[in-house]
Amino acid sequence: MSAPVLVTGAAGFIGMHVCQQLLARGLNVIGIDNLNDYYEVSLKHARLERLQGLDGFAFIGMDIADREAMAELFALHKPSRVIHLAAQAGVRYSLENPLAYADSNLTGFVNILEGCRAVKVGHLVFASSSSVYGSNKKLPYSESDAVDHPISLYAASKKANELMAHAYAHLYGFPCTGLRFFTVYGPWGRPDMAYFGFTKAILAGETIKIFNHGDMQRDFTYIDDIVDGVLKVFDGPPKADENGPAYRIYNIGNDQPGRLGHFVETLEKALGVEAKKEMYPMQPGDVQSTHADLTNIRRDFNFKPTTSIEEGLSKFVIWYNSYYGQ
């Protein structure tokens, strides 16, 4: 049997979709997840059920912050490559429970790096975030921009991941690629994301909260486009050169930022229901605009997102109504 690919956060939104595509290629995949209750655990189990019937998939319930368990996992299975998507997500939640971010995003990430070092993994692809850009004013955001002023602990933890991966790539020579995801949405998505909460509230006839009075822009990126980018990068590990170690950072976004107000209007049309809205000021830790410069990932991997907001939200609403029985 060929050495498996390890996917952390396999029961997560992006993780499930990535595992499906790896398995469709005929690869063996070991998925791990701690199935925590940050959002509804039943959705995580439902995602997992979609994977467990597929040939080549094995699931192990475990926490990446568990040092001994992670060391045993790498020693036993010796994965050839790793896609690390497990993390404590969410900007606002980092204001409420900062220690969860230290455990998962810092301790857990070091455990991943140590495992990769131990087995001399062929490529580590890991999730970073557009949040690292903080309140940078220059748009679109480029990977060459300074990201030294995070405005949330979540963003700081993701920047720390990038720095730690660079150190390990330099010291131990295994290739590392970080991906700065921009506002991922779509079927099987995360209930803590705004569009998901909007959908639930609109269908229940409840009022939705629009922050910064709707004067916000996001580079909304559909899940299929994200997975396409992840797998293209997965197939092309970086090489060390005169500029540094085998380490790269890429934005993965849509390159078509949308106004929050337009996003809500499009969701209303897809649902066939007009939303009741209340306007609120900007939330701590939020930024007004995000926009990914895709020059580098387009050049290196011919990455071209193709899904419009209208198409993406329509597909999400169809899934939502089916899953929740609306």
User: Which residues does the annotation mark as catalytic?
Assistant: 154
Alpha carbons within 13 angstroms on the beta-carbon side of residue 179 total 26
Locate tokens 């509804």: which residue?
40
- Cα–Cα distance between 278 and 34 in angstroms, integer? 36
Tell me the angle at which helices 13-24 and 223-234 cross, rounded to the nearest 10 degrees: 60
